Amino acid sequence: MAKLFSYIQRIYTESEVCIPSNCGGHQGGPSVDVTVLWGNTFVHYPGLSVGHLDLSSVAPVSSQELALAIPTKLPRQMECFSGEPDLERLMLSEGMQRVCAGRLPSETVLRWAWESWRMAVGPPMRQPYGRLIELMNAGCLRGPNHRDVGECWREELEIPELRLLVDRLWHEVKPLYEKLHAVVRHFVREKYPKEAASIDADGLIPAHLLGGMWSHSWKGYAHDIFPHPVDMDKAFAKANWTSKDLVRRAEDVYASLGLARMTEEFWKHSLIGKGAGDGKCHGTAANMFADGASDYRMIVCPRSDAAAQDFYVTVHEMGHIVYYMEASKQPTIFSDGTTAAFQEALGDAMYLGAVTPQHLVRLGLLDSKHMVPEKMTIGADSTLNSFDYAFLLRMALGKLPTIPFEYLMDQYRWDMFDGSVDYGQDANSYFWFLLERQQGIRPPSSVNSRLPLFDAAAVFHLSDNTPFVRYFLASFLSYQIYEGLCRSALFGTVSNPANEIPMPLHRCDLYGSKKAGKLLRKTLALGGSVHWTDVLEKLTGEEEISAKKRKTNSRTPKKEYYYGEG
């Protein structure tokens, strides 16, 4: 099993998709024929030479046209792309100039990046992953409660009927997701009119046009939906922070609350920036369990012009390390988080505090004029201005699409593990059944042409064998924890429901709050020595994971709001 996982991990992390430099043309030359890009795509697998990648089954051109474009020998100079971060950034419409010198329409490049990565890593992973399911299931046969590896994974979270909870949480936010999907669908049709007829036919959005390799980030449509002069990605790039500057500012967010700073070993051994895996990396944090409990490490690779997403990844990964440090006095078996979901939620909760408008002003990323009320034609709340609406929209476009993605990735694997779906026959058709039904997306090419493929392999966490339900639960826990920390910062307690937060939650600035920091240190120090419901109650005053805002004793009419609503 270890050998097989090592094999598929190398396929994901080391494979590269390559094209001839400038598609064989000259800078500033005429536009490139689509067949040149699709017919001149190559793949470089770890330890092997570069070979031609057959995209004939998924290309937007006929097989005959494609055959004419396929070269008879390898090009001398090639431009190669890793899955992360290169192709992922292309899917976020960054670095388009690297593909044929920008001489192709964006939708062509997006479809090529989306399809070529799946065709490169999916087929070689499909057979070994089927064998891995057999081996993992054999290792989990430990009695009536451990019939497959899915049950072993779910046990770690200590939640009875976890599948029912996951379904309930998803269906609580699904109506809001569907509204956002409808809005974005309208703007996709406007931006890509050639796709309008197919979108109207079934309401499904082509996956490659949404944002991110897994259609999980729709922030690229924020300006189309609600134009605003402030662009946070440009603000981060203009700040001209180095990779270490980014990490230092993430550290400062935690340290301002009185939490421990990073250790000397952290700065000595962490891979930050260009040294992180030779440009190929997935953000990672690690507890090395060294004597003296001071060796914690992180891998992050922000781009040279750091963007808001890089800041998120850095704050998130540092959350793991802060949790490790605060729980380090526990016996080793308890020195992790109370559950994996809490480990993921801490960094996300702290990120919500790190991007409040107040803290963005403090960092020099936002002009303070955007903090004051404006005369607006939308909304009756005079405390909000146009930046608040643009900010909340961007947060919704970044967070809500991840929830069904996190939900279905484990739904898919659980059903494979327990035999509900025949892996050999239905692996890819079932995957797309879930994506169409839950995410409302479809592949660029027909599902029938994808039946022998293995598109789930395009996600890092499959090759890394990491459960996704922890991220799904963290999507809800992070807001609950952030609200609890806000109550602690304002009132010194989380348990009194009469204490209504006097400002919109996204404007609750935690920076420098020793009260919030004291609550965090007290709860994080427990590590895994107590049940997660005890930790959640201490942090929020509640014992259940919920999608709804806490009810208050306010005299105003009571209503439950979903997170993400303005």
Q: Report in angstroms the alpha-carbon separations of 312 from 232, 240, 291, 561.
A: 12, 17, 30, 25
Q: What does the alpha-carbon distance between residue 305 and residue 243 come to, in Å, rounded to a whole number?
A: 9
User: Has 316 been labeled as part of a binding site?
Assistant: yes
The candidate with the shortest Cα–Cα distance to 148, out of 415, 461, 434, is 415
User: Has 171 been labeled as part of a binding site?
Assistant: no
Q: What is the chain's pLDDT, residue by residue, as a tens digit (566 residues)?
A: 999 999 999 999 999 999 998 786 544 455 678 999 999 999 999 999 999 999 999 999 998 999 988 988 999 899 999 998 899 999 998 889 999 988 899 999 999 999 999 999 999 999 999 999 999 999 887 666 688 999 999 999 999 999 999 999 999 999 999 999 999 999 999 999 999 998 988 999 999 999 999 999 999 999 999 999 999 989 998 998 989 999 999 999 999 999 999 999 999 999 998 654 454 678 899 999 987 778 999 999 887 666 788 999 999 999 999 999 999 999 999 999 999 999 999 999 999 999 999 999 999 999 999 998 887 666 555 678 999 999 999 999 999 999 999 999 999 999 999 999 998 888 999 999 999 999 999 999 888 888 889 999 999 999 999 999 999 999 999 999 999 999 999 999 998 878 899 999 999 999 999 999 999 999 999 999 999 999 999 999 999 999 987 654 333 333 333 323 33
User: Has 142 been labeled as part of a binding site?
Assistant: no
Q: CB-based burial of residue 400 (10 Å sphere; 0-12 exposed, 13-18 middle, 19+ buried)?
A: buried
Q: What are 548's two structure tokens?
A: 């709804």
Beta carbons of 407 and 438 less than 8 angstroms apart: yes
Other Cβ atoms less than 10 A from the Cβ of 406: the count is 23
Domain boundaries, the chain: 1-124, 164-230+383-466, 241-356+467-565
The catalytic residue positions are 317, 461
Q: What does the alpha-carbon distance between residue 179 and residue 186 come to, in Å, rounded to a whole number?
A: 11
User: Has 163 been labeled as part of a binding site?
Assistant: no
DSSP 8-class letter at 111: H
Start-to-end CA span in the chain (Å)? 48
